[in-house]
Chains A and B, each alone.
Chain A
Amino acid sequence: MTKIQSIPTKQMTEVTLDRLALRLEIEEFNARYCHALDDGNLQNWPDFFTEDGFYSITARENFDANLPVGLVYCEGRGMMKDRAFAIANTAMFAPRYLRHHLSNTRVIKEHADGVIEATANYIVLQVLHDDPVSTIHQAGFYKDEFCRTETGTLLLQKRICVYENLMIPNAVVLPV
């Protein structure tokens, strides 16, 4: 029989609550992030990142093999702004609705330097205006690194969207 150690109940509760609070904070962040994209507010999207933040969308195939390509590959907020601008002003694509569904948000690790590694699973449903059926546009998970601004606000310094559907259905127009 393993001896059960007695741990002060109060301490355990604090740790647990801290973790729960952080997870809720990230969920809150992600909810705002998804809302910006689902709502088509693309110009606000780069603001979820730090100035030198990194964003990419890549296949599970590449992620597992450490292959660096991204379907979208943005080094820094500047590239994200360019993409947001191009999608909004120059790109030609069929009108559509996208809706993100997130679950299993999980804090992986809090680093001493304040970086928070986290993950969440996502499904993005897509409805094309001329097609009544909504389809799974992407299914995968975020691989995130958050940090805090001086005022304590969470920002993404890295988000890799790893999708597990083998095929992209025709085109990925909006960020995931």
Chain B
Amino acid sequence: MSWARAISVSELQEKGCAGVLLNGLNVALFHLDGDYFATGNVCTHQFALLTDGHVEDGCVECPLHQGLFDIRTGKAQGSPVTKDIPTYAVKIEDDILYVDTDMPGQTVATTEPKAENITSTSSRIVIVGAGQAAGRAAEAMRDAGFNGTIQMIGDETSAPYERPPLSKAILTGAASADTCALFASDRMAALDIDLITNTRVDDIDRKARTLTLSGGTKITYDALLLATGARVRPLPIEGAELEGVHYLRTLDDAMRLKAAMEKSQSLVIVGAGFIGLEVASSARQLGKTVTILEREERVMTRVLPEAASTILESRATANGVDIRLGVQLEKLSGTAGHVDTVQLANGDAIAADLVLVGIGAIPNIELAQKAGLSVRDGVIVDAQGRTSDAHIWAAGDVAQYPHARDDGPKRLESWHNAEEQGRCAGRSMAGLPTDYSALPWFWSDQFDGSIQVVGIPQSNNETVLRPGTNSEGPAVFCLDDKGHLTAVIGFDNPSAISLGRKVIPKQEPIDLSLLIGSPSQNDLEEQESEEMTISNRYRWPDAGAEAIPDWVYTDETIYGREVEKIFHGRTWNYVALEAEIPEPGDFVRSNVGPTPVVVVRGEDGAINVFENRCAHRAAEFCREQRGKATEFVCPYHQWTYDLEGNLSGVPFRRGVAGKGGMAKDFKPEEHGVKKLFVTTRRGVVFASFAEGMESIEDYMGPEILTDFDATFDGRKLKILGYYRNTLPGNWKLYHENLKDPYHATLLHTFLVTFGLLVAGNKSEMICDATGRHGTMASAKSDGKKIDEATRKEMRAYREGMGLNEPRFMDFIEEFDSPWSVTMQTIWPNLIVQREMNTLGVRQIVPQGPHSMIMNWTMFGYEGDDEEMTRHRLRQGNLMGPAGFLGLEDNEAIKFVQDGMKHSSGGDHLVALDPDTPTGTSDTLISESAIRGMYQYWRKEMGL
């Protein structure tokens, strides 16, 4: 015990927080809601005093990179800080605060031990509820590697199923009950979920971590997920209990409603929400008379702005639905216990042999409430899905989560929310870091149309209507008072929805003309005239495919367009081999086209690719060719990015002493570096600037994939080293050289001199369907099979020209392929080289029209013995900028570029093998692959 006098209580009350030096330690003192706390005052990330920072919501924010620590517990609140600060015991005597730095602060009641990494087999996870969120959570746990017990307790009879079809395909008979299952039976079995149906949970004993089930059975848990969902709101009027009055929530409800609908003719729907409108649509499809009664003055008041309601209303009315707005129900009446009339307060009576009530849902929060968890409109969870009890999570309709794009917490009842939040909670429970930040998304199919909503429309939003066109339906855009887009409602209008997805997260004022979508006449003309100029200036020669004009290789405008349309367009660009970055934090610098990127393996093992350009002043911040990092710090102003490229810290963001700094509404999440989309195939990493690219397999096509997979055959790669060279030629010339089998025996006399490529060799120039990729393949002849004439020819070459060390030309069979050599050009920047046993990938980095950089990564396989590795290295003398073949290719390409630079200009002639206009050719004396590539290039370039 060593209580040290720290500060006078009145001084701390006045300041809110203060830093003091006690026993050589920097100690931070806080006054928080009448309580006093002491913690370490030095950020665990980089050196800064926390008391120079900002106190908010019980947390202190470091001034340097905005690391957040909980003042009561010292707990680090996530990136960039991962290590907690210490807490110290405090006491007050005679208006003086004393601190004991040998003793930790009192454990605060709200901080229970955190069940982190509960991925052992002994752990038990129990999920209360067996709906969409429950199912997705269980799946995410298994995906995350959790192999302990998962027990799922549901009060229905079925395994998890999807609810969206209940009001649509199930009612119309287009789908049966079993098609709604969330998991196919084999997937369900593989997930190994212990499912208990028809059972409710009555009680949670949080201390003993025990549940009491409706039968009285008690079961224990290490971690608990509440996915109890919501139940229908009952109709509080007389006659609601009559037969023929239905609700729709469960599969059983849907089956009952379907059966009843078959026997009925006049359906009255109470409530014009999603359920009401979708059932109305299904019933109209079945030919029923449908009346919708709504208390409010328009449909879907709760979730949609008026402009959208109007469109929905007119669609429903056009389909023969009688919608009555602003009406009050008096009672339901019937005969023989079955409903036959709906009485309205205004005296009207509507005949009905079937009534559907769809007036909303009530979250099933009672269990959580009883257990003493924090509950408001739903069970309150943090971004990881965790409730106020560290062992209990909640997800789906029942959970109220901190909505990142809005002021307050939100509880959403939607399929998408159940999916995403369920997954998020599952990952979190399995010990993976996770953060729920999905942009809310709803959809509803009704009256042969589809309505989608992204974001959350707010009641005070201004709305902008974009009328429908021939190809798309209307869209409604919601803007808040700052002019930020909050939501988009699209009626058969996917492009408006996709615009919303991009723009809403930015939270910045938006140009209205962009939303309304009709660019001004000036813009159109400008754009058109630019296109006109390009196609006038760059006229393809009349000879067509047989000619390639010089400007393809020499023009700056064309090059700029290539960067935009090809390298930054819809292509997968090679960036690295996975073997270069085996561990989290491992990174390499690379390029996509000319653009520098960083390729890094994240904490979660996934590979991230982002631009090597600081969001602040564009500095190329990552300077090391390769290395290991926990974060990237731009050296200029210390802006800090995490391994995914998110901006995690801005020094002095809050200014100093209340002056300077960024604006209050500065959002670091909007200022990360530009991230690329990433995919891998057999240890090869590709990136793309384009969203929604096809899979890498589809991108390559089957013709190319076969030989790619023969090289990357599943053996782990072992990097043998790098060559890098500049090459003063246009980048496409490199592709062309490897789509030009004609040059092989003519330029590379070495091959002929030493008998590597002779007339008897089988060979093929293989192209994919688009013409952009290629494989130049040949098979080394078995010496015995060469006929006498060829042998003579070879001997003539070999006269006095034998190799001293012929073994370097040996081919050791190791591939499942008929070819001993395959040179693959994978558009736009990758060459895969398998020259017998010497293997490598080459990355093309264009440097303007006249020059490129070629990065070679040579590799073998894990498990190669020393002799095999040395064989590959010896054979490597063929390749690379000093290789017998490689140096000649580089020289020839340079000659071609030189030839265009200062000559009188003209076209290249690529006319060999006219019988094969484009694509695959089985003769070496062909240029069909080059023609195919330019056919594709012209299409991509719009030339």
Contacts and interface: CB of A to CB of B under 8 A. Distances in A.
B877 A92 contact: no
A78 B804 contact: yes
B722 A67 contact: yes
A69 B874 CA distance: 9
A150 B894 CA distance: 48
B723 A168 contact: yes
A25 interface: no
A17 B71 CA distance: 71
A7 interface: no
B870 interface: yes
B887 A171 contact: yes
A169 B750 contact: no
B894 A170 contact: yes
A93 B877 contact: no
A73 B723 contact: no
A92 B747 contact: yes
Interface in B883-919: 884, 886-888, 890-892, 894-895
Nearest to A72: B882
A59 B881 contact: no
Interface string B730-769: 0000000000000000010110010000000000000000
Interface residues of A, number: 38
A67 B725 contact: no
A52 B873 CA distance: 16
Contacts of B804: 77-79, 81-82
Given A91-B887, A91-B888, A93-B887, A170 B725 contact: yes
B721 A171 contact: no
Contacts of A65: 721
Given A75-B870, A82-B803, A92-B892, A171 B808 contact: no
Contacts of B726: 167-170
A166 B589 CA distance: 14
A135 B663 CA distance: 52
Most chain B CB within 10 A, of A59, A89, A93, is at A93
Interface string B854-884: 0000100000000001100110110011101
B719 interface: yes
Contacts of B749: 90, 92
B873 A166 contact: no
A69 B753 contact: no
A168 B886 CA distance: 12
Given A78-B805, A79-B874, A167-B853, A61 B722 contact: yes
A58 B721 contact: yes
Contacts of B727: 170
A167 B728 CA distance: 12
Interface residues of B, number: 40
A78 B806 CA distance: 9
Contacts of B803: 82
B209 interface: no
Nearest to A74: B877
Given A92-B747, A93-B887, A93-B891, A168 B722 contact: no
Contact of A71 (B723, B808, B888): B723
B882 A57 contact: yes
Contact of B884 (A61, A67, A74, A91): A91
Interface in B449-483: none
B23 interface: no
Contact of B876 (A70, A86, A168): A70
B522 interface: no
A172 interface: yes
Given A79-B874, A83-B877, A93-B891, A168 B725 contact: yes
B883 to A, nearest CB: 8
Contact of B805 (A59, A68, A79, A94): A79
A137 B858 CA distance: 22
A173 B882 contact: yes
13 contacts: A68-B873, A69-B720, A69-B721, A69-B858, A82-B803, A82-B804, A82-B805, A86-B750, A92-B891, A94-B891, A167-B724, A169-B725, A170-B891
Closest 4 CB pairs of A and B: A69-B721, A78-B804, A67-B721, A172-B882
